[in-house]
Structure 1
Amino acid sequence: MQDGAVIARRGRKYEQVLRGAGEVFLRDGFEGASVDNIARAAGVSKATLYSYFPGKRLLFMEMARQQCARRADEALAAIDLHAPPDVVLREVGYRFVDHILSDESQRVFRICVAEADRFPELGAEFYHSGPRLVHNEMCAYFAAAIARKELVIDDVALAVAQFSELCKADLWLKRVFGVQTRFSAADIGLVVDAAVTTFLARYGALAPRDPGAP
């Protein structure tokens, strides 16, 4: 079946189809997911499925986009972005790490990586539907914190990326390579607390500055 630039249409069974797709894709992967199994899991006919999504790539992209965007929205809605940086960074860090270590996130990530050469738009869609949303919100938060003189940052976008990488330290590679698949709250807390401390030591308004810096 062909995808092209076709846009999925919405309708009464649209969400039902996506739920079935999520079940099958996350269980069988992109290549292993058959349209027959997706239709069966969704409780619709193949004709109905095709009427919403003419291609499997389009169906996967929308499923991944919705799941990622939902998690991003839930995280941002639960965080008080008017709170001071030490509070916001810890909350963002915990939620970010909890998400990237989850089975759901790992499965979508692995599918995107596995299909990246053939379908690079899968990874791009995944990135823009979730990680990019959180990145943009954190950039806005940092800008506000800078205006309140709580942070001192020259390159806000780089600082956001640096914080996310600090939060992934040790945990992310262990999860990706299967060295460790389950992490306690204490495991996550240790890394996130260290990430916040390190970040604020560099960018906090009270952090010591390089005397030679402009």
Structure 2
Amino acid sequence: MLGKLSSALLGFVLAKNIITNEMTYVSTCEDVRGLQYARFDKYLYEYEFSKDVGYEFGNSKVEILSYHYDSFFDFRVSDFTVGKTFYLLTGKGCYANCLFCGGGFDAQKRLNHRSECMYLDEEQVIETVKDAQALGYESFYICFDPTPAKPHYFELLKKMANECSDITLLFGFWGLPTDEVLDRFQEVTGKLIFELSPETDSPDV
């Protein structure tokens, strides 16, 4: 099968033909909201790596499969421990077109036919947190902030404060947060890490 595919691709190259297929599938809000993102047992035959810091893979023990976010820091948090980290999806899409990013508005429209942001329901996000905690995750990383001037996540933070106890929350801002935003996060947990990425296409800056 692979040989036939390679021959077909080579034929296209030699003929200098580029075939453009029509977009046949576009994920909807219902598709995204219909998944349980921390229920690996529903989607994977082998998901032991999601439960243990060390995972037996063949005859060797693999540690990298259970990521700790602080493994990527160039500094170390001193007042609390960043535990096993779950990358928490709260939505998809973007309204901006930053030159340094491949997931901006134009890219989303071209690749996914998505022209607006979609947000997961707060209840679904809370359920994901609880499912992940049952697997041993302690820290949760969110990097979805498409409208930093008008944050969309205040209601989610309120629910997290009431229902998600003893978590470390890591949040990647897409703009400078206000004092009000920081106060809302402090109501959730005292173990916070904020990520700011001051990229720019300006050589002067």
**TM superposition score category, shorter chain reference:** under 0.3
* TM-score normalised over the length of structure 2: 0.26
Q: Comparing both structures, which one devotes a greater share of its residues to strand? A: 2
